[in-house]
Amino acid sequence: MDTTERTEQALAAERRRRELLEAAERVVLRDGPGASMNAIAAEAGITKPILYRHFGDKGGLYAALAKRHTDALLASLRAALDAPADRRTRVETTLDTYLAAIEGAPQVYRFLMHPADSASPGEQGFDVGRHSAPLLRRLGEELAEVIAERVDLGADCERLARVWGHGIVGMMHAAGDWWLGERPCGRDELVRDLADLLWGRLAAAGNREGGPGF
């Protein structure tokens, strides 16, 4: 097999994988945490063994969907952080971007963070923490990187940026999870209240000299 054939096969496999993920997403949007491999295979018009061949098991499919949504969310959060606005506005826009994402696709969010307690007949269950923890950790590291790049936190900048990055992501996740389940207030109110909570030392810290500012 020459290089061209290998490249074409790789592109075809990637295209097929993307199509299967899109089918899985349609089922998740409909069924939420109860989405089963049987239903996803049926939606894609294939047998379950073929689905396993691409993803291994439900955990593998979960990880692929998590990466797909995390990539999209991170791109949106980066855009919010890069928007030409004052710091408070950018903080609020970033919080709102996260909350809008989980509000816009609540079934996908619940599938990723709150899978069904038991697997469907014939399926093995999987430990959601094994997959959701890396997702939240990645968000925390990305935010820490932005904070370290843009905010002057002194000699201990790297450590403090990581503390803040993971802390803010944890706050967004916990508050957003509670809010999505109970809806005690509007999204704009939650954004304002969370921004007020953050508005302590972050507001007082200076921007790094020569950087884009935060």
pLDDT digits (tens, 9 = 90+) for 10-69: 788 788 888 999 999 899 888 888 888 899 999 999 999 888 888 888 888 888 888 888
Note the pLDDT of residue 172.
94
Rounded-to-integer distance, Cα 196 and Cα 150, Å: 20
The two three-digit tokens of residue 32, written as one number: 């939420």
Residue 59: how many other CB atoms lie within 10 Å: 17
Q: Which residues contact 157 (CB under 8 A, 6 or more apart)?
A: 148, 151
| Helix intervals (H) in 56-186 | 58-82, 87-104, 106-113, 128-150, 157-182
Note the pLDDT of residue 118.
40
Query: Phi and psi at residue 77, in whole multiples of 5°?
Result: -65, -40
Note the pLDDT of residue 195.
93
Note the pLDDT of residue 92.
94
Note the pLDDT of residue 127.
54
pTM of the model as a whole: 0.78
Note the pLDDT of residue 109.
87
Whether the per-residue pLDDT at 181 is higher than 50: the answer is yes
Q: Which residues contact 66 (CB under 8 A, 6 or more apart)?
A: 112, 131, 132, 134, 135
Catalogue all structural domains in the chain, each as residue range(s) with its CATH number: 3-204 (1.10.357.10)
Mean pLDDT score of the chain:
84
Note the pLDDT of residue 68.
85
Give per-residue pLDDT as tens, 61-110: 888 888 888 888 889 988 888 888 888 998 999 999 999 999 998 988 88
Whether the per-residue pLDDT at 123 is higher than 60: the answer is no
